[in-house]
Amino acid sequence: MIATRSLRAQIEHLDTLSTIPSVVRRLLETFENPKTSLSDIASFIAQDPVLAAKVLKVVNSPIYGFPGRISSITQALLLLGLNVVRGLLLGVSVLGMMQKSIVGLWEHSVGTAIVSKVIARRKGLKDPEVVSVAALLHDIGKVFLNLKFPEAYKAILAQTDAKAIFIADGETENFGVTHADVAAWVGRKWNFPALLIEQMRYHHKPHLSKNFMLHTSIVHFSDILIRARGFGYGGDGLVPSVDPVAWKILSLSRNEIKETVVEVEDLLEQAEELILAGEIG
């Protein structure tokens, strides 16, 4: 097994990998600068019409569901804020890599983001879009582990199917860490806010979240609910158990969960265009 410190160093220098698309490489370089501003991000996106179109597709999808159509990146930045758009940029930039890593991972990520939005609104969160973007990115560690260690990761994926084990357990056995740890490393390296990092890091262990337990619990339960529904594929075909602390914090009645499932079903249908975008990268 690779020492954790060495593994982390390798993941943090992913941008040197030749298999990383140039747009992602440039994006990560931009993120590394802690002083990156709204106008820097706007200029970055303006240089790449394909990327701009992908971002607009996400912000106009049922993940966000703004009443009017968002037609420009500037409008998206003003409505969603720098950190959410940065997260979205990373999400749409790696979506092609997501589908190459694990077929169905993009669908799983979009599905989790949609469930998160519905629950965040139900719980009256002031910033539901922050939860949605964390949900969209919650499994990004799987993409990076697969990029850096393709053979080992392929073997883990084969094991999850053959032995019916959770992918996080397969990762721990092989790497000593999980995709959630990797997502947190990546988040820190690229200056994501603590709120986003904590949701990604603890989406399997929300009780460990020190500062954002409600947000993290929403991503945790949304991941479980979309797996239970059987939408997309997160790397194993199993439904993990809900964390008792998260269950208590969320305090959702049977009826509320049922209504959420029904609402999500409609939204997933409406999000078909976005979900298909993952197929073409």
Stretch that binds another protein, among 14-22, 74-82, 200-208, 240-248 (CB under 8 A): 240-248
CB of 242 to another protein, least distance (A): 5
The Cα–Cα gap between 113 and 130 comes to 10
CB of 225 to another protein, least distance (A): 7
Stretch that binds another protein, among 4-12, 20-28, 162-170, 205-213 (CB under 8 A): 162-170
* 245 is an interface residue for another protein by CB under 8 A: no
One of 16, 22, 241, 251 touching another protein (CB under 8 A): 241
One of 2, 79, 245, 257 touching another protein (CB under 8 A): 257
* 108 is an interface residue for another protein by CB under 8 A: no
One of 69, 126, 210, 254 touching another protein (CB under 8 A): 254
CB of 139 to another protein, least distance (A): 17
Stretch that binds another protein, among 7-15, 45-53, 101-109, 158-166 (CB under 8 A): 158-166
* 229 is an interface residue for another protein by CB under 8 A: yes
* 149 is an interface residue for another protein by CB under 8 A: no
Tokens for 77, please give them.
Answer: 């930045």
One of 228, 270, 273, 279 touching another protein (CB under 8 A): 228
Instruction: Give 125 or 239: the residue with its C-beta nearer to another protein.
Output: 239
Stretch that binds another protein, among 58-66, 192-200, 209-217, 237-245 (CB under 8 A): 237-245
Contact 116, 222 (CB under 8 A): yes
Buried/exposed 71-96: b ≥16 CB within 10 Å, e otherwise = eebeebbeebbebbbbbbbbbbbbbb
Instruction: Give 180 or 226: the residue with its C-beta nearer to another protein.
Output: 226
Binding site for another protein (CB under 8 A): 164-166, 224-225, 227-230, 237-242, 244, 247, 254, 257-258, 261-262, 265
